[in-house]
Structure 1
Amino acid sequence: MTNYNFSAGPGVLPTPVLTKIKDEFTKNEFTHMSIIEISHRSSQFEEIIASAEERLRDLMNISDDYGVAFIQGGGSTQFEMLPLNFANRKNKIAVLDSGNFAAKAATAATAIGKTAIILDSSKDDKYHHLPMLSPDFHADDYDYLHLTTNNTIEGATYHQDNLPKTTGRMTADMSSNILAEPYDVNQFDAIFAGAQKNLGPAGVTVAIVKKDWLAEQNIQHVGSMLRYQSYLDKHSMYNTPPVFSIYALDLVLEWVQEQGGVDSMYAQNIKKSSKLYDYIDNSSFYQALVDNSARSLTNVVFTTNNLERDQVIAKEAAKAGLFNLNGHRSVGGFRASLYNAQPQEAVDALITFLKKAEKEYK
């Protein structure tokens, strides 16, 4: 029986990457020791971190106008770093509340003394649709607009073609769909993404920031560990970086390149998600929870409209080798995460199981 991991994060990693990590874990021909033993000041690691940045720039078409940093602390730290570094003119940010992590970004900004204004929220609709900017939005009233491109828990996504249009600065949390579909980096002034969903194992967060915007900031009150410039000046080695996580991230980026890049990943992700959504939409037993135009390619959220029955079916799925299908505790139902490394065969196996469950529990 083949097992498949549908976890929302840490998510599935490419099998070739896991194999290479296993083969090289004790030592490899370059380090002559385990990757978790080498110094972050060694020439071997300098090559690894430089490779990771180069690959990311290549895959996302990141120009020299942007700095790239690899930082610890996850998205939760970024919720504080962004306003500390960039909310210094008006001390106020705008947020489109499209889900749990967008709301957390607003709460974090408020906790550190900034004002976070919720412009629109889809909370009353259980985040089944996307909030949008109103025509009377005045970008100059805020330091920036904060956006969560993909809502991991609720399964709604701002795709490139339905991004908010603003004349002001815009930042994005791309943690769960970075490299899964193409975005024009130039439409954002800062982007961050935790690695553990689509880039590699937990432990490192990618930050992409507009250099000229950063240079405008007066952040003398901000500690050096929470300054993006600290990481850019030291090539992400201001302090000891998460060596293993960056090593694994570089391997994942190499794998994405070998698959044909983001456009190829996008095509495969459309194929995978469309197949699953088509089955759900044509079933009288299951129901997708998100409006069609806003559906995520990476986190498919659905239910039988009976939460107890959903839990029973999810347990049966695990027995069949389909793991971590439970929806987030705040939503319930099912969540099938179809990150880049999730093979088409996993979707086929899931649909086969769901058909069987439909016959047994309907």
Structure 2
Amino acid sequence: MCKIYNFSAGPSILPIDVMKKANKEFLNWKNSGSSIIEISHRSKIFISMTKKIEKNFRNLLNIPNNYKILFLHGGARGQFSAVPMNLLKSFDEETDYINTGYWSMSAAFEAMKYSKTNIIDVKKIKNRKKHILKMSKWNIKNTSKYIHYCPNETIEGIAIHEEPNFYKNLIVGDFSSSILSRKIKIQNYDLIYASSQKNIGPSGITILIIKKKLLFNNKNKYIPSILDYYINYKNNSMFNTPSTFSWYMSGLIFDWILKNGGIEKIEKNNFIKSKLLYDTIDNSNLYINDIHYLNRSIMNVTFRLKHNNLNKKFLEKSEKEGLLYLRGHSLFGGMRASIYNAMPIEGVKKLSNFMIKFEKKFG
């Protein structure tokens, strides 16, 4: 049986060591005689675990003490509503939403229900390559309450690697597909959110990093309690029963990152993996990537075949080789290789070798 590599955009690949540990502990966690999915979230043993998880996450990203960390429900889509509800006091306030792709626009459409939303298009095409304007050229309004952007668009494979420095506005970042993949200057942000099913663990939770002072900002009496940051903060992310298994698995992921060199080593590995794939594409006459090299995602490598009639054959042959879930998103077609933290370099090498062989035979 050939070695399987999962290139799914999410839920995504998890480290094999983490899954083995979870499997070993599943029926008898911490010698409690119960599974982790049976343990009360109010129990001392579970609360002790969550404190360790928060500490490790804070250390991994070097999060200052004036930021609080929440483990929430609802995925990133839930935050599309929660962010404006918590940061705004009235519908009359303006917000700036940076449009770089599907997910940033999805957030903007939701924000329109709660604010005067300015959509700022920063994605351009030059020489048939998509690129994103430098932040200094973004048409930001000083009157806007906050700026929202998504540094990595999973569907198109386009990314912003620049850090924000807009000092007159609050900065909100949707890091769902790039959290823990590289170092972040947390101080440059006021609020970061990230759903779990890429680099954090299985789906089920969304992690929020927020400046503590913003927790006391909300004056919106109509906000649902489950979306209220202050209520979730006061209840230690347990206003309702949390996704205990996802929380537990995220802790195992954080342990795995720490044991494997931390964010610095992860970032280095991600650069090596993405460079290998992009070099394979750039040196090819069959594969095409439409993103300018300065804005290429290191998490989601998208490409298309010059001859569309080869798409089906490419997917059939790749699956037989154990290279799974390479089909691109239905909105854009083509191929997409998601190479999150857990994807080993060996998996990317196998994909690269397959692409080269496929081109020699069919290209």
| Aligned pairs for 1:163-242 within 5 A | 163-167=163-167, 168-242=169-243
User: Which segments of 5 or more consecutive residues in structure 2 lack a partner in the other structure?
Assistant: none
| Aligned pairs for 1:254-293 within 5 A | 254-293=255-294
Give 2:10's aligned residue: 9
Q: Secondary structure of the equivalent of 1:141?
A: coil
Give 2:317's aligned residue: 316
**Larger deviation, residues 24-33 vs 63-72:** 24-33
Deviation at 1:102, TM superposition (A): 0.1
Equivalent-residue separation in structure 2 for 1:268 and 1:134 (angstroms): 30
**Larger deviation, residues 178-187 vs 24-33:** 24-33
Equivalent-residue separation in structure 2 for 1:113 and 1:178 (angstroms): 26
Q: Secondary structure of the equivalent of 1:116?
A: strand
Pick closer, same or farther for the CA change 1:118–1:131 going to 2, 3 Å. Answer: farther
Deviations 1:111-138 (A, max 9, x none): x332221112427789932245565845
TM-score by length of 1: 0.95
Deviation at 1:221, TM superposition (A): 2.4
Equivalent-residue separation in structure 1 for 2:340 and 2:37 (angstroms): 26
Q: Secondary structure of the equivalent of 2:176?
A: coil
Equivalent-residue separation in structure 1 for 2:159 and 2:291 (angstroms): 9
Deviation at 1:301, TM superposition (A): 0.6
Give 2:85's aligned residue: 84
User: Which segments of 5 or more consecutive residues in structure 1 lack a partner in the other structure?
Assistant: none
**Larger deviation, residues 127-136 vs 277-286:** 127-136
Q: Secondary structure of the equivalent of 1:129?
A: strand
Give 1:109's aligned residue: 111
Deviations 1:97-156 (A, max 9, x none): 11100000001111x332221112427789932245565845431110001011111111
| Aligned pairs for 1:49-88 within 5 A | 49-88=50-89
Give 1:141's aligned residue: 143
The reply to whether residue 352 of structure 1 matches residue 353 of structure 2 is yes
**Larger deviation, residues 99-108 vs 22-31:** 22-31
Q: Secondary structure of the equivalent of 1:303?
A: strand
Equivalent-residue separation in structure 2 for 1:25 and 1:47 (angstroms): 18
Equivalent-residue separation in structure 2 for 1:227 and 1:308 (angstroms): 50
**Larger deviation, residues 330-339 vs 22-31:** 22-31
Deviation at 1:217, TM superposition (A): 3.2
Give 2:36's aligned residue: 35
Percent identical residues: 35
Pick closer, same or farther for the CA change 1:185–1:349 going to 2, 3 Å. Answer: same
Give 1:152's aligned residue: 154
Q: Secondary structure of the equivalent of 1:172?
A: strand
The answer to whether the Cα contact below 8 Å between 2:41 and 2:241 also exists between their aligned partners in 1 is yes
Give 2:343's aligned residue: 342
The answer to whether the Cα contact below 8 Å between 1:193 and 1:205 also exists between their aligned partners in 2 is yes
Deviation at 1:299, TM superposition (A): 0.6
Equivalent-residue separation in structure 1 for 2:266 and 2:120 (angstroms): 32
Equivalent-residue separation in structure 1 for 2:185 and 2:129 (angstroms): 25
The answer to whether the Cα contact below 8 Å between 2:67 and 2:211 also exists between their aligned partners in 1 is yes
Equivalent-residue separation in structure 2 for 1:188 and 1:127 (angstroms): 29
Deviation at 1:44, TM superposition (A): 1.4
Deviations 1:181-201 (A, max 9, x none): 111111010000011011100
TM-score by length of 2: 0.94
The answer to whether the Cα contact below 8 Å between 1:25 and 1:35 also exists between their aligned partners in 2 is yes
Equivalent-residue separation in structure 2 for 1:123 and 1:97 (angstroms): 11
